[in-house]
């Protein structure tokens, strides 16, 4: 069975703190074999737990790309996974359907999400996305070449 890390982009202030709490009480209260959920936040005086990690970056719309790359680095160092599902804290995740969908994907070179067709097509992170571990590693290995000044 593939191991899925649901890595939730979060913030520790209103209204996002309530969204995290709602997730914990709804979709994330349901156990699903092969799934582990971790919520990641920016700078805080709070300590990391098995469910919440706090990264040394200021919370801002413009720091989300940096925060996400830091979360990917953390995941590669601390969690065994085959895929990362990266929703925002406002998204409901049906873990059972997520597992079914990921089971239909190839083992490598997966970066799946909602594509926005424009002059230069881009992936809209607001809907969440799924990345295979090899792609996560490529992103982290090439982080200095990425333009993370924009949201994601």
Q: pLDDT tens digit string along 87-112?
A: 999 999 999 999 999 999 999 999 98
pLDDT value of residue 120: 64
Distance CA 117, CA 132 (A): 23
Query: Helix (H, G, I), strand (E, B), or coil: what is residue 9?
Result: strand
pLDDT value of residue 131: 96
Please give the DSSP secondary-structure letter assigned to residue 117: P
Nearest one of 139, 8, 136, 3 to 76, comparing CA atoms: 136
Distance CA 76, CA 78 (A): 6
**What predicted TM-score, i.e. pTM, was given to this entire model?**
0.91
pLDDT value of residue 62: 76
For residue 15, is the peptide bond before it cis, meaning its omega torsion is within 30 degrees of 0? yes
pLDDT value of residue 147: 75
Cross-strand partners of 85 = 6, 130
pLDDT value of residue 146: 80
Q: Which residues of the chain have pLDDT under 50?
A: none
Residues with Cβ within 8 Å of residue 115, at least 6 apart in sequence: 121, 122, 123, 124
């Amino acid at each position: 069975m593939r191991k899925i890390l649901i890595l939730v982009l979060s913030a520790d202030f209103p209204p996002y703190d309530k969204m995290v709490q709602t997730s914990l009480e709804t979709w994330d209260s349901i156990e699903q074999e092969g799934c582990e959920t971790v919520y990641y936040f920016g700078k805080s005086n709070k300590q990391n737990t098995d469910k919440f990690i706090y990264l040394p970056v200021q919370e801002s719309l413009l720091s989300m790309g940096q925060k996400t790359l830091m979360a990917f680095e953390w995941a590669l160092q601390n969690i065994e996974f085959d895929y990362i599902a990266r929703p925002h804290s406002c998204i409901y995740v049906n873990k059972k359907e997520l597992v079914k969908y990921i089971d239909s994907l190839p083992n490598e070179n997966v970066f799946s999400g909602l594509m926005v067709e424009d002059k230069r097509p881009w992936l809209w992170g607001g809907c969440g996305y799924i990345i295979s571990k090899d792609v996560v590693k490529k992103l982290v290995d090439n982080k200095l070449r990425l333009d993370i000044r924009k949201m994601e």
